Amino acid sequence: MIEDPLLGHQLANFRMERVVGRGGMAQVYYGTDVKLHRPVAIKVIDARYRDKPTYAERFVREARALATWRHDNITQIYYADDEDGLYYYVMEFVDGLDLGELMTQYVNDGSLMPDADVLRIGTAVAKALDYAHQRGIIHRDVKPSNVLVARNGRVLLTDFGLAMDVSQGSLGEVFGSPHYMSPEQARHSASAIPQSDLYSLGVILYEMMTGVLPFDDPAPAALALQHITDPPPPPREINPYINAATEAVLLKALSKQPYDRYETGQQMMAELAAAITSEQPEVAAVNERITLPPLPATGVEREGKFRQHLTVAERIAMKLGPEPEPVSRNTLTLDPQERRFVWLPLTIFLLLLLGAGLLAYAFVFNPDDTIAGQTLTAP
């Protein structure tokens, strides 16, 4: 394996230590801010685009613009620059898992994400998208691997590397991830609008609630055509626990025409939350294994799924282990020899205190008080 020449390399105050992600246009490194001594994520544009000034300059320009944003569900960008032909930006490092990893765990053990987690994650992504759309930015690559779930439960949307300023338009190429791409993006990236991002979120919600993608094909062109022309399989045919109201929300989110979808992410998630709690379909008991029909999109057979499943927080803890205990600045770490020196005077002090207490007890409560070897009998 060829070693990455950027490992150990330092850009400004940021040292790159290991690769944590690769995408179509860039790769992400775990690194350290050597001045502030904090972990960071460093995104470096791929070598294929370094000789294309239009892409490289836009990469840095948009990163600098995003650095002014402050939203709890969007990763914070600290710095952006270019150095020796390397275009990069630095953002906060999130200790957790991406949604794609979490969803794979559920698929592998034949279970589904709890509805409460679906709503929590979906709402966080929707809020992030609404915030971006209000500032004229379209993400264009909303997918599970770009949604991070931290140990503490915080959900963040990341990777605005393909983001498009509505006022500037698009460079014209088709960008995005085929499984989550809206019909209009599949035709041309210049057609992307805010509802395009909401379509991608709709695909994620569909996948979280059914365990499968609405459209799937190994050939990107065929997959794009499915998004453009084919209706998605009704979610209730895959997961009978989904009620009719929830199915209606998911199908509206995946409408072929952008303006048939929801106007905002907040509106979509509010309707989904109301739908999920509105009624429960009459199916098998909640802990009973149910047999699912063949999946219309892929033809893959599944044995069944349980209604009761691990929460996202439990899965993150299982994958990453317990969160390290914070160390108090007042806590001293001593080796065994140092501990002996600490305990010795303390032990002597306690023995002296105990002896003084015994003498006081004898003096106060013993009727025969002894002074200088003489016994005085109390009258």
Domains defined along the chain, listed by start: 10-92 (3.30.200.20), 96-320 (1.10.510.10)
Q: What is the mean pLDDT of residues 160-174?
A: 53
**Residue-by-residue DSSP string for 2-66:** PPPTTTT-EETTEEEEEEEEE-SSEEEEEEEETTTTEEEEEEEE-HHHHT-HHHHHHHHHHHHHH
Query: Active site residue: 117, 141, 159, 197, which one?
Result: 141
pLDDT of res. 47: 78
Q: Is the pLDDT of residue 354 over 90?
A: no
pLDDT of res. 164: 54
Tens digits of per-residue pLDDT, 105-150?
998 988 999 999 999 999 999 999 999 999 999 999 999 999 999 9
- Name every residue whose Cβ is closer than 8 Å to that of residue 258 and which is 6 or more positions away in sequence: 182, 184, 193, 195, 196, 199
Q: Which of 186-190, 251-255, 345-349, 364-368 has the lowest mean pLDDT?
A: 364-368
pLDDT of res. 61: 74
Q: Is the pLDDT of residue 348 over 50?
A: yes
Q: What is the mean pLDDT of residues 307-319?
A: 75
pLDDT of res. 2: 65
pLDDT of res. 21: 83
pLDDT of res. 342: 46
Q: Torsions phi, psi of 90, nearest 5?
A: -115, 135
Q: Is the pLDDT of residue 283 over 60?
A: no
| Distance between CA atoms of residues 251 and 6, nearest Å | 45
Label residue 302 by pLDDT band (50, 70, 90): very low
Cα dihedral 205, 209, 210, 213, rounded to 10, equals: 20
Q: Is the pLDDT of residue 71 over 60?
A: yes
pLDDT of res. 4: 84
pLDDT of res. 225: 95
pLDDT of res. 172: 44
For residue 157, which of 185, 182, 181, 129 has the smallest C-alpha distance? Answer: 129
pLDDT of res. 313: 85
Hey, what are 74's tokens? 């969007």
pLDDT of res. 82: 85
141 is catalytic: yes
**CB contact at 8 A, 138 and 196:** yes
Q: Work out the number of other CB atoms within 10 angstroms of the CB of residue 143.
A: 22
Q: Torsions phi, psi of 9, nearest 5?
A: -75, 150
Q: Which of 16-25, 117-126, 211-220 has the lowest mean pLDDT?
A: 16-25
| Distance between CA atoms of residues 5 and 7, nearest Å | 6
Q: Torsions phi, psi of 211, nearest 5?
A: 85, 0
Q: Is the pLDDT of residue 158 over 50?
A: yes
Strands 164-165 and 86-92: unpaired
| Distance between CA atoms of residues 277 and 76, nearest Å | 34
Q: Mean pLDDT score of the chain, rounded to an integer?
A: 80
pLDDT of res. 127: 98
pLDDT of res. 367: 45
Q: What is the mean pLDDT of residues 343-367?
A: 57
Label residue 284 by pLDDT band (50, 70, 90): very low
Q: What is the mean pLDDT of residues 206-229?
A: 95
| Distance between CA atoms of residues 56 and 78, nearest Å | 18
Q: What is the mean pLDDT of residues 268-296?
A: 64
Tens digits of per-residue pLDDT, 225-263?
999 999 999 999 999 999 999 999 999 999 999 999 999
**CB contact at 8 A, 43 and 30:** no
Label residue 25 by pLDDT band (50, 70, 90): confident
Label residue 317 by pLDDT band (50, 70, 90): confident
Tens digits of per-residue pLDDT, 28-68?
999 999 999 999 999 998 877 777 777 777 777 778 778 89
Q: Work out the number of other CB atoms within 10 angstroms of the CB of residue 179.
A: 20
For residue 202, which of 242, 128, 261, 160 has the smallest C-alpha distance? Answer: 261
Label residue 349 by pLDDT band (50, 70, 90): low
Q: Work out the number of other CB atoms within 10 angstroms of the CB of residue 81.
A: 15
